[in-house]
Chain A
Amino acid sequence: GAGVSQSPSNKVTEKGKDVELRCDPISGHTALYWYRQSLGQGLEFLIYFQGNSAPDKSGLPSDRFSAERTGGSVSTLTIQRTQQEDSAVYLCASTSPGLPETQYFGPGTRLLVL
C-alpha cells in the first residue's frame, strides 16, 4: 500500500505569511506525529495525534504553530506569521499498532521563509 505522503514537497514563503502543511498517513495508522528537522539538527518533536485528539502538544515552539487531524486520517500543520527561523524540513510519521513502535515517515516538506 501507499506510504505516508506530505504536501507540498517544497514551500517558499515570505516572512509574515501563513502556511499550511499536509500529511496523509498510512491507512489504518491511528497515531500521527509531526517533527521539525532544522539544518544540522536532529528531529524536534512537535505534536502527536492519537485518532483526532492531540495528547501531547508539548513540542509546538510557539502559539503560531497549530495542528489538527480530521477523520482519524489527514493532518494539517499550520504556521501563522512565519518567521525565518521556521525554515526547516517538517516531517510527518504514522505508527502501526502494537510494539515495537514503528514510525513510518513521509518525505517531508521543505519550508523556506524569506
Chain B
Amino acid sequence: GEDVEQSLFLSVREGDSSVINCTYTDSSSTYLYWYKQEPGAGLQLLTYIFSNMDMKQDQRLTVLLNKKDKHLSLRIADTQTGDSAIYFCAESPHNTDKLIFGTGTRLQVFP
C-alpha cells in the first residue's frame, strides 16, 4: 500500500542542525520530495532527490536517501527561526500522476 510516515514534532535550538525523517513504502518512486508549509500558506517545494541518488545538497539543506530501508531524511544546517514550519515528504509512485504525502513534521525553532 501507499503510506508515508513522519514523526509529528521536532524542536531545536536556533543555530543547531535539524534532521527530519521519513519512511515510504513504494520502491518504484522515481523522485522523492520535501515540501515546506508555513503558517496559513500552501506548500512550497523545498528540494527533491532522484531515486538513483543517495545524497543531495542544496545550500543549508541535505537530503539523504536510503533506498534499501526506504528512508528519506532532510537535514537543515544552522536552523533559523524562519525555518519553523511543517515539513512534508512525498513520494511519486511509478505510473501514477499523484504525490503521496506524509503527515508532516512540525519544526519549532527556539532561540
Q: Which chain A residues have a beta carbon within 8 Å of chain B's beta carbons? A: 4, 31, 33, 35, 40-43, 45, 48, 50, 55-56, 91, 93, 99-108
Q: Is the interface of A mostly helix, strand, loop or mixed?
A: strand
Q: Is the interface of B mostly helix, strand, loop or mixed?
A: loop
A106 CA / B40 CA spacing, docked (Å): 11
Contacts of A35 in B (CB 8 A): 101
Q: Name B18-57 residues within 8 Å CB distance of A.
A: 30-31, 33, 35, 40-45, 48, 50
A93 CA / B41 CA spacing, docked (Å): 12
> How many B residues, CB 8 Å from partner?
25
Q: List 10 A-B contacts (CB under 8 A).
A: A35-B101, A43-B88, A43-B104, A48-B98, A56-B96, A56-B98, A93-B43, A100-B30, A103-B45, A103-B99
Q: Are B45 and A102 interface neighbours, CB within 8 A? A: yes
Interface string of B43-76 (1 = CB under 8 A from A): 1110010100000000000000000000000000
Q: Are A101 and B42 interface neighbours, CB within 8 A? A: no
A107 CA / B55 CA spacing, docked (Å): 30
A-B pair count, CB < 8 Å, reads 60
Q: Are B98 and A106 interface neighbours, CB within 8 A? A: no
Additional 15 contacts, C-beta under 8 A, given A43-B101, A48-B98, A50-B97: A31-B97, A42-B104, A43-B104, A48-B97, A55-B97, A56-B96, A91-B42, A100-B31, A100-B92, A103-B45, A105-B42, A105-B43, A106-B42, A107-B42, A108-B42
Q: Are B31 and A107 interface neighbours, CB within 8 A? A: no
Q: Which chain B residues have a beta carbon within 8 Å of chain A's beta carbons? A: 4, 8, 30-31, 33, 35, 40-45, 48, 50, 88, 92, 96-104
